[in-house]
A = this chain, B = another copy of it.
Amino acid sequence: MSPFRQSVHSEAFVLAMDRSIGELFVRHLSLFGTLSEADRHALLNIKGRIGVLEKGQDILRVGDKPTHVVAVLSGMLQRYTLDAEGERQIHSFYLGGDVPSLEGLHIDVMDNALGAVTTSRVALVTHVDMFALLHAHPNLAALCWRETLVQAAVFREWLARNSKKLAHAQTAHLFCEMITRAKANGLSDGKSMSLPVTQKDLADALGMSVVHVNRTLQTLRSTGEVELKNGILTIGDFATVADLAGFDPAYLHLTA
């Protein structure tokens, strides 16, 4: 049992008294469609609890029956699984502004875990509240459904990337995705972003060994176009890197 999960209802997770959670949902869902004034108003009134997830802590584990929707206020989460040998596969990274667990609304048992890559602030909204909201606003239900479908598209892209591309293209592709999503979330200017991952994290996302990740990063660094240092990812010319990576943002289905 994660100590965190036991404290979801304790003081560690305090009721949000402002509209920060609602604002996050408004911004996030706006990435995938249009909100009516009524939708916006309803979202802004979302009530939830806010707390801190320490680096390495899980908020959802395999086998859990989710009861809350999780939103990332700041920091970075990972969705991952462990195989029989204890090897981790990271399926996605989530940045501030992302809502990783809308899927939990209709999945009874988690087949993967959600944890903090770095110390993060997260918000929790009960499924009960979410269902009430979605029931009253069918357009929001459609948008949330759509959001989960876009996440599925991202999984497919990761599948294609990890199955086919060479190490440097894989790595560049992941970086392009992260920068593009960070920009959409207002966390990047398209040139650099906070990416607080270790090389082991990258290895477990890309399906490569740490040693090879290290060497690949050096290669990319030597081109002068890509640098990851002290948790800051910097890209020279996005188009150049995207080309190297074979990156096409269509799968992210961003309306912007």
Check A164–B251 contact: CB distance below 8 A. no
* A55 contacts the other chain (CB 8 A): no
Interface residues of A in 111-149 (CB under 8 A from B): 111-112, 135, 138, 141-142, 145-146, 148-149
User: A163 on the interface (CB 8 Å rule)?
Assistant: yes
A83's contact among B91, B138, B164, B253, by CB below 8 Å, is which?
B164
In-complex Cβ contact of A103 among B111, B152, B158, B207 (8 A) = B152
Main secondary structure of the interface of A (DSSP, over half): helix
Is A156 in contact with chain B by the CB < 8 A criterion? yes
Residues of B within 8 A of A107 (CB): 146, 149-150, 153, 253
Chain A positions within 8 Å of B, measured between CB atoms, are 79, 81, 83-84, 87, 89, 91, 103, 105-109, 111-112, 135, 138, 141-142, 145-146, 148-153, 155-156, 158-160, 162-164, 206-207, 246, 250-251, 253
Q: List 9 A-B contacts (CB under 8 A).
A: A83-B160, A91-B159, A105-B145, A106-B142, A106-B149, A111-B156, A162-B162, A163-B163, A163-B207
Q: A87-B164, A148-B149 are in contact. List 20 more A-B contacts (CB 8 A).
A: A79-B156, A81-B160, A83-B164, A103-B149, A105-B145, A106-B142, A107-B150, A108-B253, A109-B250, A111-B250, A111-B251, A135-B138, A141-B141, A148-B152, A149-B152, A151-B152, A152-B155, A162-B163, A163-B163, A163-B206
